[in-house]
Structure 1
Amino acid sequence: MKNIRVIGILLMTMFLIFSCKANKTMTSTEQNIHRKWMLFEYKDFTKQELTKLETYMDLTKNAEAPSRFGAKMGCNGMFFTAEFDKGKAKFSGVGSTMMYCDGRMKLEELFGKELPTMNQYKIEGHFLTLTDGKSTMKFVAADWD
């Protein structure tokens, strides 16, 4: 009888440990995406061009609008709605301010048209990749040292 009780306690302990560990991993991945990301690889743009334009996508959560995010691709402030769930992404409502910046509009135009087609995401370390199966956008975390 005593052995059954010990086995039962061990099984419960193992169950709790594994349950907490799985939940912690999901939370960690969810938190990892909600940060500022610097675009460093996209289409024919060089890393130097993207760095000079100070390109970024800010996926930091806002308590007032938890699904609304922003970006800057060299000129205008951009905004959009996004949802992320287990490697799937959905972007919609992409818009921007309406300034003209000579020599800085091509990237912004392409990014604004293609972002809603991105339907998958992957986080590997400090890197975020968005893809639709044909085109890819690669980002590095802005807070990465």
Structure 2
Amino acid sequence: MMIKRFAWVFAAAGLAACSAGALPSAENTPQPNLKRVWMLADFEGFSREQLVAAEARMDWTRLPRVYAYMGCNQLMMEAKQEGGDRIVFGGGASTRMYCEETMRLEQTFMNYIAGTKNYRIEGHTLILRNEAGKEARFVAQDWD
């Protein structure tokens, strides 16, 4: 009777060990989750107050489609991750409303995104870097 119990315990332990799999290596570990809504917090040429008033944000929840809002028009684009910290944006489009107070922010942002090549996530902050080395910083909307 006691031998049968030990046999079951060892059989269960053996099955668990076989199904556990290997631990992920650093290169197989996925990048931090981009699939969030990110609020634009720091963008050269615009104050934090302007960005908050415009409700400037990027919605990455439907990757590879990315949606942005800079205070007036809906901006749509595709984002392709190219391994590591590389990212390429393309296929940009937008609605065409005229909003004098936010047009400069929208145009500047779209020009910036077209030249963006790198990204990184530090805690709850997404940082995009363009070809000229200029950075735009976003804070995760769901972060308290």
Which residue is 2:135 aligned to? 136
User: Deviation of residue 116 (structure 1)?
Assistant: 1.5
Percent identical among aligned pairs is 35
Matches for 1:1-145 after TM superposition, within 5 Å: 16-19=21-24, 23=28, 25-26=29-30, 29=32, 32-61=33-62, 66-84=63-81, 85-132=83-130, 133-145=132-144
Give the Cα–Cα distance (whole angstroms) in 2 for the partners of residues 19 and 74 of structure 1.
Answer: 42
The one-letter amino acid paired with 2:109 is F
- For structure 1, list consecutive stretches of 5 or more residues without a partner in the other structure: 1-11
- Give the direction of change, closer, same or farther, for the CA distance of 1:92–1:21 in structure 2 (3 Å limit): closer
**TM-score relative to the length of structure 2:** 0.78
Give the Cα–Cα distance (whole angstroms) in 1 for the partners of residues 25 and 121 of structure 2.
Answer: 21
User: Deviation of residue 102 (structure 1)?
Assistant: 2.2
Query: Alignment RMSD, CA only?
Result: 2.4
Which residue is 1:3 aligned to? none
Counterpart contact for 1:83–1:91, Cα < 8 Å? yes
Deviations 1:27-70 (A, max 9, x none): x52xx111100001011211111001000000002xxxx42110
User: Deviation of residue 21 (structure 1)?
Assistant: 7.4
Larger of the two Rg values belongs to structure: 2
Counterpart contact for 1:38–1:142, Cα < 8 Å? yes
Residue-pair matches, total: 126
**TM-score relative to the length of structure 1:** 0.78
